[in-house]
A and B are shown apart, each in its own frame.
Chain A
Amino acid sequence: EIVLTQSPDFQSVTPKEKVTITCRASQSIGTNLHWYQQKPDQSPKLLIKYASQSISGVPSRFSGSGSGTDFTLTINSLEAEDAALYYCYQSSSLPKTFGQGAKVEIK
């Protein structure tokens, strides 16, 4: 099973600042890595697919990069509505797995 480790687990950030969340895979997964945002009492929402591909309707301040084992989700100019849990997810091999989650709080 591929283990995904996200860091940091938590960060408190001022609006308009830049946020970076990393996801490291226990083995190479190419670009089969996706990012989800989950707000309280909501289901996860797809933010970025295949490491760096944007999703229609998702604000352009969200971007992703990486391949192999190291990936990054960047939120440029954080907004109050971005307070949420962020998960990475690999679809490279079965069973599919998620990272443990990274919480972003607004200062």
Chain B
Amino acid sequence: QVQLQESGPGLVKPSQTLSLTCTVSGVSISSGGYYWAWIRQDPGKGLEWIGYIYNNGNSYYNPSLKSRASISLDKSKNQFSLKLSSVTAADTALYYCARDSCYGGSCNLDYWGQGTLVTVSS
């Protein structure tokens, strides 16, 4: 079955770059019909969609992140990654990776990882 698992440092210093990886099993990230997404959850603000990437490398990011986010694919490892630069305490959150399953131009997030907590602190 499809599974996603986030990994990466749980503590990042302010102004540095947050880097997370999502390892996918049960489906190839090269398969058509899926985008690969990152979402975060701040207990005080709910769920925020960060962005996603398709298997051809096309990506889109939430403008609220002011161009700090970047998502990439590693097809050889069936992984995709998130980098968020110039982090502040406001970026402290639980980060999820998810599969965005699309059909006929419409999509829904059908599989999620368990989430990884990232704290931004010196």
B106 within 8 A of A: yes
The answer to whether B46 touches A98, judged by C-beta atoms less than 8 angstroms apart, is yes
Known A43-B112, A89-B109: A95·B46 in contact at CB below 8 Å: no
What is the CA–CA distance of A44 and B49 in the complex, to the nearest angstrom? 13
- Please, which residues of chain B bring their CB within 8 A of the CB of A34? 108-109
Q: A43-B96, A43-B112, A95-B64 are in contact. Are A32 and B46 (CB under 8 A)?
A: no
Which partner residue on chain A sits nearest B107 by CB separation?
A91
Contact partner of B114 among A43, A97, A100, A101, CB < 8 A? Answer: A43
CB distance from B50 to the nearest CB of A (A): 9
Chain A residues whose C-beta falls within 8 Å of the C-beta of B114 in the assembled complex: 42-43
A95-B62, A95-B63 known; A46 vs B49 contact (CB < 8 Å) = no
Residue in A87, A91, A94, A98 whose beta carbon sits within 8 Å of that of B60 in the complex:
A94
**If the complex has contacts A43-B115, A95-B62, are A101 and B110 also in contact, measured as CB distance less than 8 A?**
no
Q: Complex formed: what's the CA distance from A91 to B61 in Å?
A: 14
- List residues 71-122 of chain B with CB under 8 A from any CB of chain A: 96, 100, 106-110, 112-115
CB-CB under 8 A from A101, the residues of chain B are 46-47
Extra inter-chain contacts (19) besides given A44-B109, A49-B110, A99-B46, CB under 8 Å: A1-B63, A42-B114, A43-B112, A43-B114, A44-B47, A44-B112, A45-B112, A49-B108, A50-B108, A89-B47, A89-B108, A89-B109, A91-B100, A91-B107, A91-B108, A94-B60, A95-B62, A95-B64, A96-B49
Question: What residues make up the interface of B, taking CB atoms closer than 8 Å to A?
Answer: 46-49, 51, 60-64, 96, 100, 106-110, 112-115
Name A residues whose Cβ lies closer than 8 Å to a Cβ of B.
1, 32, 34, 36, 42-46, 49-50, 87, 89, 91, 94-101
List the 4 shortest-distance A-B pairs measured between CB atoms, nearest first: A98-B47, A43-B112, A95-B62, A96-B49
